[in-house]
Structure 1
Amino acid sequence: MGAGPDGPLDPFALAVVFGARIEYLPVDVDPSDFSGMVTMRGGRPVIVLNRSMAPERRTITLLEELCHLHYRHPVEEWDGQGRQHTNAVESEAYQTGAAALLPAVVVAKAVYKNRAAADVAREYGVSTELFEMRVKVLGLWRHYQGRNAA
């Protein structure tokens, strides 16, 4: 699933541990309209992803959906647009997924060793934006911004 505590996590391997099947939307959909969802089919979790998304976005979306399963967020509530979770539930799943993909120790080491965000993002299969969001969440933004100013 990963290369140790500091290594990249493979959410597709983790999905196997959860017993989740991964499917893709059969049609192209704008990623701003749909990224992913989890549902149950025959008692088994099925995660549906949007193939139109960049691979880095599919990675965090898959992990976010796995976090919904981990936290046992309800998956039966639907409207015409999909799952009806509160912002707090979505945030919990997203932030947990982001932390699993980019643990605090990885982000802190990268910032303090002046590693380029793009290099870390590429190594961990995430976007530069996700890396920078983790830097902010961890309170390292000032150091990150000032690291090349001296």
Structure 2
Amino acid sequence: MPTFEEKLIRAVKKKREAEGLSIRALSEAVGVSFSTLARIERGEGQPDNNSKIRLLQWLGTDAEDAGLSFENLALVHFRAGKNVQSSTVRTLLKAADCIRQSMGAQGRRKGQRDMDDKAAAAAVSLSKEELEKTAERFRADLGLAYDEPLDSLRIEVEGIQMIPVGKTNCLDAQTVSHLRRDVGGEWSAMSVPLDVEDETWAVLLNDSHTIERQRVTVLEELWHILLGHKLTKIARIAEAYGRTYDEAEEHDAYYLASATLLPRAAMIDAVSKNCSSEQIARVFGTSSELVDYRIKRLGLWREHVGKQIRLSRD
């Protein structure tokens, strides 16, 4: 009897060929890399759960005809490690359901296909300069000077409530301890929409992480929401969980988080004064790793590390 994966690969290949699509064209359509699709069609590997979700979505009704299905469990913004355990996901989804109930979530979600079409039409990838300007406007709206540190844990955004997992009433003490201590390294945050128009949100934050990491996580979640990014679909397939994600949107949210915490003008000034990454991190309340990322993205790494350049005299 063919396995789930074998039936999936056959159904995908059958539909791809029927529609006259190349593997590269399918890759662009579903968001799974060309090399991964080519490898699994040759029988040299199997798709991970994230790829399975995307392929099942693309198959649509053809998936049911092939005896394939998955259970759609949640639509959230979900920040977690690639290898997060299924038990951790299941616990967080339980918390999401409780948050919706306790905070009076309104309405029911629209059909997934309609939501995907709407999100795809609305998705916009920002240029580097647009990201910088967006972060600068955000800081200006908060009344911050160009070189003033920002404690993002103090930001209040209308319609968005931050809930540290250690303070939630939706999980018992033992489960909270497990999420903070035993599997705390697997996840950072989960943003839960509370209405069908995605205007009100609750963000469950992993408060076991360092303050520096929490500051970045909070801003990433805020930017995902404020930019109207697509919700993550979390689903169970063959007793394991997978999720969708968009690399461009993840990049934009992280870039904006770093730019909001470490403003461009201040970074240029600090590099010109030969400040170390550690010194800059202490001033702005971030990690030195985030400072390094920011300086590299601004194209200032050579100056920061002091690499001299010159033309030879020959």
Band the TM-score falls in, shorter-chain normalisation = 0.7 to 0.9
Residue 31 of structure 1, CA deviation? 4.4
Matched, 1:39 2:185: no
TM-score (ref. length: structure 1): 0.84
Uncovered stretches (5+) of structure 2, i.e. residues with no partner: 1-141, 166-175, 308-314
Q: More helix by proportion, 1 or 2?
A: 2
Distance 2:162 2:275 in 1: 33
Tell me whether 81-90 or 51-60 shows the greater mean CA deviation: 81-90
Show the counterpart of 1:58: 214
Matched, 1:7 2:152: no
Tell me whether 44-53 or 23-32 shows the greater mean CA deviation: 23-32
- Relative to 1, partners in 2 of residues 1:70 and 1:83: Cα closer, same or farther, differing over 3 Å? farther
Show the counterpart of 2:131: none
Distance 1:137 1:52 in 2: 28
Matched, 1:90 2:250: yes
State the one-letter code of the partner of 2:258: A
Distance 1:78 1:12 in 2: 27
Q: Summarize the alignment of residues 103-122 of structure 1 with structure 2, pairs less than 5 Å apart.
A: 103-122=263-282
Uncovered stretches (5+) of structure 1, i.e. residues with no partner: none
Matched, 1:139 2:292: no
Distance 2:148 2:183 in 1: 31
Higher RCO (CA-CA < 8 Å; seq separation 6+): 2
Distance 1:17 1:118 in 2: 30
Matched residue SS, 1:17: coil
Distance 1:145 1:92 in 2: 26
Asked whether the 8 Å contact 1:36–1:61 carries over to 2, the reply is yes
Residue of structure 2 aligned with 1:78, choices 230, 234, 246: 234
Distance 1:18 1:146 in 2: 44
Residue 58 of structure 1, CA deviation? 0.4
Residue 140 of structure 1, CA deviation? 0.7
- Relative to 1, partners in 2 of residues 1:2 and 1:48: Cα closer, same or farther, differing over 3 Å? farther
TM-score (ref. length: structure 2): 0.43
- Relative to 1, partners in 2 of residues 1:119 and 1:141: Cα closer, same or farther, differing over 3 Å? same
- Relative to 1, partners in 2 of residues 1:54 and 1:83: Cα closer, same or farther, differing over 3 Å? farther
Matched residue SS, 2:146: coil
- Relative to 1, partners in 2 of residues 1:52 and 1:107: Cα closer, same or farther, differing over 3 Å? same
Asked whether the 8 Å contact 1:19–1:45 carries over to 2, the reply is yes
Residue of structure 1 aligned with 2:260, choices 75, 79, 100: 100
State the one-letter code of the partner of 2:151: D
Matched, 1:23 2:170: no
Higher radius of gyration, 1 or 2: 2
Residue of structure 2 aligned with 1:127, choices 287, 293, 299: 287
Asked whether the 8 Å contact 2:146–2:266 carries over to 1, the reply is no
Residue 7 of structure 1, CA deviation? 1.0
State the one-letter code of the partner of 1:12: L
State the one-letter code of the partner of 2:202: V
Cα distance per residue 1:86-127 (max 9 Å; x no partner): 111111111111111111111111111112322221221110
